[in-house]
Chain A
């Protein structure tokens, strides 16, 4: 069992968008999809350590702000060059208006 940690308020994340949060010195990205569901991944692109938070969310995909590497943020899957290493994802839930993520790798 991992630890559930408050990441941000649900209202901080727009629909079909993401924000960066820092928890215990580590960067994470918190996403909300078009249906109001929340997701969490590690905060940086696996290609060149760029923060994903400035990237673009379209549907299930986050596109890195720098070299346009794309990932499915729900599964972490890297979707082709230049990214070949998947993103780590984390369990995510909303309670009392707060987004919580479970700090254990899945």
Chain B
């Protein structure tokens, strides 16, 4: 009999896993379960390329239509209700679907601020294609919509950049600066300047204390008594991993569904991948949860590979992130630490910030520059992070010394 694989979640992690399994030609049957009606679309363009009065930026994750296979059954718009780990079944729509291997790729959902919980007003989040449609519909009701964005993280900033030409935008960040949890000051300052050039008004240390909603507008009040009226407010204040299904099934959680180096959960024959899982970082063993495109894809492929071969292999991915805002590209690799030694390398309009541990080994890097101009350096750094060798601060600091030379002499 074919091996039965169930994948819960049909975004990048789940789809990458399903496609790899189908392409392997192995005798298996896959059931793909999604609570969303829309499946297999790419999420990054939703915040990076959303424009009023233009087509929704829908990019398929399956352009070659691998998912049309007869060996795949899709339940879209049907949330999995329960995992029975004893009898190895997933329940949905009142039926139990048996599995030999289960892959949980439930992702994360947008966090909501408590102050907005009672609001009936047009306050939206941006995570799914349905969210993007709702935002676009709202925007198209006005010629020059007034948009309030809550949260100066990537989602909020990318949306601000996408909409800056067609909307008037106020962006509110509770922290003292933008992107404070993920990027060094010198990079977030460049980001803030670029947004100001585009007439996006950025308010830091901004705490929303009251929201008054009406049919087509929403009033925000800040702790310093300032008041604003908007046609639409979008919240981008982080994400919460979707772990409830796993928790109810008795799986161990750790800021996400806990998995080992093989991405196996604490339950027999169940893996967890992508934004919902907390896994040990290959280089340090630190348990981390990563919300990133590449992490989702690589973990999906990794679990598929193990199911295909039947052999356990360690997941060795290094976290990598990117953001596009206007003409600026931001990329990061590794996993930053607040107490790390930070070294700056400035080269014209490009900036790189290296983070070193106590032994001067590279643990993380962040870069900003026009277009993809820092991509090459970030990729080299990714290899340096993997090598875990001590580096010279002077060399890293000196933009005349080619990073590739540092990599070659380190290897």
Contact = CB atoms under 8 A, between A and B. Distances in A.
A81 B375 contact: no
Interface string A40-78: 000000001011001110000001011110000000000
B379 A63 contact: yes
A54 B301 contact: no
B376 A54 contact: yes
Contacts of A23: none
A84 interface: yes
A47 to B, nearest CB: 9
A81 B301 CA distance: 8
Contact of B64 (A16, A50, A65, A84): A84
Interface in A8-34: 16
B373 A54 contact: yes
Interface string B362-402: 00000000011101100110000000000000000000000
A97 interface: no
Given A81-B301, A84-B64, A51 B372 contact: yes
B217 interface: no
Contacts of B185: none
A82 interface: yes
Contacts of B380: 56
B294 A81 contact: no
B219 interface: no
Nearest to A16: B404
A81 B20 contact: yes
A55 B378 CA distance: 10
B59 A65 contact: no
Contacts of A51: 372
A105 to B, nearest CB: 21
Nearest to B369: A54
Nearest to B376: A56
Contact of A55 (B19, B297, B320, B376): B376
Contacts of B293: 67
B322 interface: yes
A55 B19 CA distance: 26
A19 to B, nearest CB: 12
Interface residues of B, number: 19
B47 to A, nearest CB: 16
> Main SS of the interface on chain A?
loop
Contact of B375 (A48, A56, A80): A56
A100 to B, nearest CB: 26
B297 A65 contact: no
Interface string B289-307: 0000110010001000000
Contacts of A54: 371-373, 375-376
A65 B294 CA distance: 13
B16 interface: yes
Given A56-B380, A81-B297, A65 B372 contact: yes
A80 B380 CA distance: 20
Contacts of B379: 55-56, 63, 65, 68
B375 A65 contact: yes
A48 B372 contact: no
Contacts of A67: 293-294
A81 B66 CA distance: 13
Contact of B16 (A55, A68, A81): A81
Contacts of A84: 64
Contact of A66 (B19, B375, B404): B375
A55 B375 contact: yes
Contacts of A55: 372, 375-376, 379
Interface in B250-286: none
Contacts of A80: 301
Nearest to B371: A54
Contacts of B16: 81
A16 B376 CA distance: 12
Contacts of A81: 16, 19-20, 297, 301
Given A54-B373, A56-B376, A67-B294, 18 more contacts: A50-B372, A51-B372, A54-B371, A54-B372, A54-B375, A55-B372, A55-B375, A55-B376, A55-B379, A56-B375, A56-B379, A63-B379, A65-B375, A66-B322, A68-B320, A68-B379, A82-B297, A84-B64
Interface of A: 16, 48, 50-51, 54-56, 63, 65-68, 80-82, 84
7 contacts: A50-B372, A55-B375, A56-B375, A63-B379, A66-B322, A67-B293, A81-B297
Q: Which 5 A-B pairs have the closest CB atoms?
A: A65-B375, A54-B372, A65-B372, A56-B379, A56-B376
